[in-house]
Amino acid sequence: PVPPIGELILSNLLAFPGLYIAYVSLASDYGHKQVFAAFGSLEVGATLCLMATGSGGPLPLVGIFVSKLTMSTFSQTTNTVKGELFPSSVRVTALSLSGTCGRAGALLAPALIEETRGLPNTPGEFDIFLKCIVVTLIVSVSLSSALLPESKGKPLPE
């Protein structure tokens, strides 16, 4: 088995190929909605793999690696679409508000983890939190893919 520090180093090294995958995906012929839906679905799968923590199998490690590889593309696609959808007159304000909401979520996540945490050192210790992530990803990817217009290759709104 790989020691925890080795897992940390390996997962962080995957950020480099993840950035390359993000660049290739956004430069491809696929639309932003398709890239967003595909990589959002992969993120859901990776989170479900993380729920197998404590099972003794390789699924949690696979979940970490897949998440690390796809996270860059998922977040970069989100940022690209946000920048392309807002009209120029409100673009900076809208992106700032979006960034503020993201930071608020990052501040609240540790509290949410602690409030939903199960018994320490048990296999399902973080299951409730991970289920919240899965539901949030499914809802946001589904709604975004269904309701947002395709912005790739279109002129930016004035």
If the chain, 158 residues long, is cut into consecutive pieces of 10 residues, what is the mean pLDDT of each piece?
80 82 87 89 90 79 85 83 82 87 90 87 83 90 87 79
- The pair of three-digit structure tokens given for residue 117, joined into one six-digit string: 């945490």
pLDDT value for 69: 84
pLDDT value for 23: 86
Q: Which helix (H) or strand (E) holds 27?
A: helix 15-27
Cα–Cα distance between 142 and 55 in angstroms, integer?
30
Q: Which residues neighbour 61 within 8 Å (Cβ) at sequence distance 6 or greater?
A: 2, 7
Q: How many CA atoms lie within 13 A of 17 on its CB side?
A: 11
The residue whose two tokens read 């989100």 is 78
- The pair of three-digit structure tokens given for residue 61, joined into one six-digit string: 């490690």
pLDDT value for 150: 86
pLDDT value for 50: 86
- The alpha carbons of the chain give a radius of gyration, in whole angstroms, of 17
pLDDT value for 45: 92
pLDDT value for 138: 92
